[in-house]
Amino acid sequence: MVLLILWRLYGYSARLLKTKLFRTAASNISFPEVWLLLVQYFERVPGFFWVVQRNSFFTMSEILENKADIELYSPHPEVRGMTTLDRAAFKRTIVVPILKVKKEVINKLLKSLKHTTLQRPGLKRVIDDPKDEDSRLVLLDPHKISAEYSLGESEQEILKQFSIDPQVSKYNLELTYDNFKTEEVLRAVLPEGQDVTSGFTRIGHIAHLNLRDHQLPYKHLIGQVIIDKNPGITCSVNKINIIDNTYRNFQMEVLAGEANMITKTRENYITYEFDFSKVYWNSRLSTEHGRIIEFLKPGDVLFDVFAGVGPFAIPAAKKKCSVFANDLNPESYKWLLHNCKLNKVDKKIKNFNMDGRDFLRGPVKEELTKELSLLTKERKNTLHIVMNLPALAIEFLDVFKHFLDGKPCSTDLLPTVHCYSFSKHDNPAKDVQERAEAFLGTSLEGRCSTHLVRNVAPNKEMMCISFQIPAEVLFKNPMEPASKRLRPNEDSPEEKSTSLKD
């Protein structure tokens, strides 16, 4: 009896929907819209409301025409405001269309009807037919079915080919927590109308979230949902301060899962292991790391002043470059050594744990002097200095003023610096160039390139400025051919003319 009334109401609602309430121009109203309208109707009829509730159908008073899609796959409304995850509370029954199909043709049919079958996480779209063991029931997507509960022409054509009766029936499908997507779960829990962005960065088994203030009351639940819905993630953390400390790592709070911060991740085919809570790591820099490595060829020398756990140094060593890597943070240094061993490049990299200025004035100067003391024709390799500490690195550039003065050096093939900086300026390239020039005490006009690495925040860019250090910066008196000073007996006409080349 109840079913009969339901069916009549369904037909009535379909007509109503087409003509009055939603003033839709669509001629084929989909089943979910009709069903939702029906449920709304029940809400106003106390007797039916009880029946509906008992079957876990929920009433939705704020259904909007174009929200039918979201609403159909919404978990039970009682989860709104939940702060401790109760997976069982998400259960909800919806009505979906089904098609009875002989089991011999099921695989072929599924291929042809793949856009019409129901696709939900963790849900089988083919189930046994309790009344006929030779048949199966195929769950269909309610959005692909018309209000008259029939399939479209092309689908009907496919069914004809397989001699399948095109009659579509209804099936009460119970959706559980496992069948909802992260966004659907969070949209149902968080206050209505608020942003539920569930993005995170993955570092091995750790999901790193950056929650907004309005999401904080739900932080543990959000962290658990991310773990549940992403295989391989067993821990979720939220950043609790901005990166403004010396070692550029940030304090974090474990939201859910095991509090194991030692993680292993891969970047550009290289494995890195480190304690994520104690060192700097940013997966968004992988392209930039790769870009710099592209400049290098075997035999080149790379000096990495702020090396972290090695994402420039290790790939450079893998490319058969000589590498000098440094980081002030003892933890970064420890994991840098570890990663050198892990990637079998510990013989190719000399590691240091000192302040960047001391590193430049000590090991870098010593090696540069050695390299530049060779005549250009003997030395084909290039020298690169990477300085990735965007908040401060530019201020370290003054170290290069008269850096090699008094040293017997060639002014050919001088080192190229790749220095990173943040900029909030309207013209970040110009801003970074001007600041670099101020610290170097010379103009870089026409002899530098700037690259936008990434947008860090609204109106804040991370830039990389690359330039060969001008001879007039490195040497007080660059006019004097360095090779002459070095090897007076080997003077050649070309070497005598070596001057301001940078």
- Binding-site residue ranges: 289, 327-328, 355-356, 388
CB of 433 to ligand SAM, least distance (A): 21
Q: How are beta strands 270-275 and 92-102 bridged, if at all? A: unpaired
Measured from the CB atom, the residue of 389 and 399 that comes closer to ligand SAM is 389
What does DSSP assign to residue 415? Answer: P
Work out the widest C-alpha separation in the chain, in whole angstroms. 112
**Distance (Å, whole) CA 5 – CA 13:** 12
Instruction: Answer yes or no whether residue 308 interacts with ligand SAM by CB under 6 A.
Output: yes
Of the pair 22, 359, the CB lying nearest ligand SAM is at: 359
Question: How many CB atoms are located within 10 Å of the residue 450 CB?
Answer: 20
Task: State the binding string over 134-173 for ligand SAM (x if CB under 6 A, else -).
Answer: ----------------------------------------
Q: Which of 43, 355, 367, 398 binds ligand SAM (CB under 6 A)?
A: 355
**Which of helix, strand or coil describes residue 337?**
helix
Residues 229, 218: Cα–Cα separation, whole Å: 16
Examine residue 74 and tell whether it contacts ligand SAM (CB under 6 A).
no
Binding of ligand SAM by 280 (CB under 6 A): yes
**468 near ligand SAM, rule: CB under 6 A:** no
Of the two residues 43 and 367, which places its CB atom closer to ligand SAM in the complex? 367
For residues 182 and 229, is the Cβ–Cβ distance under 8 A?
yes
Please say which residue, 356 or 470, places its beta carbon nearer to ligand SAM: 356
Distance CA 326, CA 336 (A): 9
Shortest distance, position 485 Cβ to ligand SAM, whole Å: 32
Q: Which of 328, 436, 453, 471 binds ligand SAM (CB under 6 A)?
A: 328
Part in contact with ligand SAM (CB under 6 A); list of ranges 169-177, 215-223, 321-329, 431-439: 321-329
CB-nearer residue toward ligand SAM: 392 or 486: 392
Size, binding site for ligand SAM by CB under 6 A: 20
Q: Whole-number minimum distance, CB 455 to ligand SAM, in Å?
A: 16
* E-strand stretches of 292-431: 301-304, 322-326, 349-352, 383-387, 416-423
In 3-state terms, what secondary structure has residue 461? strand
Give the nearest residue (CB) to ligand SAM: 308
Rounded CA gap, 434 and 427, in Å? 11
Toward ligand SAM, which CB reaches closer, 327 or 495?
A: 327
As a residue count, the chain comes to 502
**In the range 241-260, which residues lie near ligand SAM by CB under 6 A?**
246-248
Separation between Cα atoms, residue 419 and residue 176, nearest integer Å: 52
Separation of alpha carbons 482 and 484, rounded Å = 5
Q: Is 327 in the site for ligand SAM (CB under 6 A)?
A: yes
Which range of residues in 11-19, 115-123, 240-248, 315-323 is near ligand SAM by CB under 6 A? 240-248
265 binds ligand SAM (CB under 6 A): no
Q: Is the Cβ of residue 43 or residue 395 nearer to ligand SAM in the bound state?
A: 395
Query: Quick check: 303 binds ligand SAM (CB under 6 A)?
Result: no
Least distance to ligand SAM, CB of residue 393, Å: 8
**Binding to ligand SAM by residue 201, rule CB under 6 A?**
no
Interface positions, 329-348, toward ligand SAM (CB under 6 A):
329, 332
Q: How far is the CB of 282 from ligand SAM (least distance, A)?
A: 6
Nearer to ligand SAM, 149 or 295 (CB): 295
- CA dihedral over 10, 15, 16, 21, signed as positive or negative: positive
Please provide the DSSP assignment of 224-255 as one string.
HHHHHHSTT--EEEEE-S-S-STT----EEEE
SS (H, E, C) 167-211: CEEEEEEEECHHHCCHHHHHHHHCCCCCCCCCCCEEECCEEEECC
Binding mask 360-399 for ligand SAM (x = CB under 6 A): ----------------------------xx----------
CA distance 476 to 395: 20
Residue 240 Cβ, how far from ligand SAM at the closest point, in Å? 19
Please report whether residue 198 would count as binding ligand SAM according to CB under 6 A: no
Give the orientation angle of helix 31-43 with respect to helix 2-16, to 10 degrees: 110
> Residue 116 or residue 282: which is nearer to ligand SAM going by CB?
282
- Distance CA(34)–CA(170), nearest Å, equals 13
Q: Are 283 and 290 in contact (CB under 8 A)?
A: no
Binding to ligand SAM by residue 306, rule CB under 6 A? yes
Residues 6+ apart with CB under 8 A from 66: none
Rounded CA separation 2/45 (Å): 13
Q: Which residues pair with 128 in a beta bridge?
A: 136
Q: How far is the CB of 339 from ligand SAM (least distance, A)?
A: 11
Residue numbers at the binding site for ligand SAM (CB under 6 A)? 246-248, 280, 282, 285, 306-308, 311-312, 326-329, 332, 355-356, 388-389
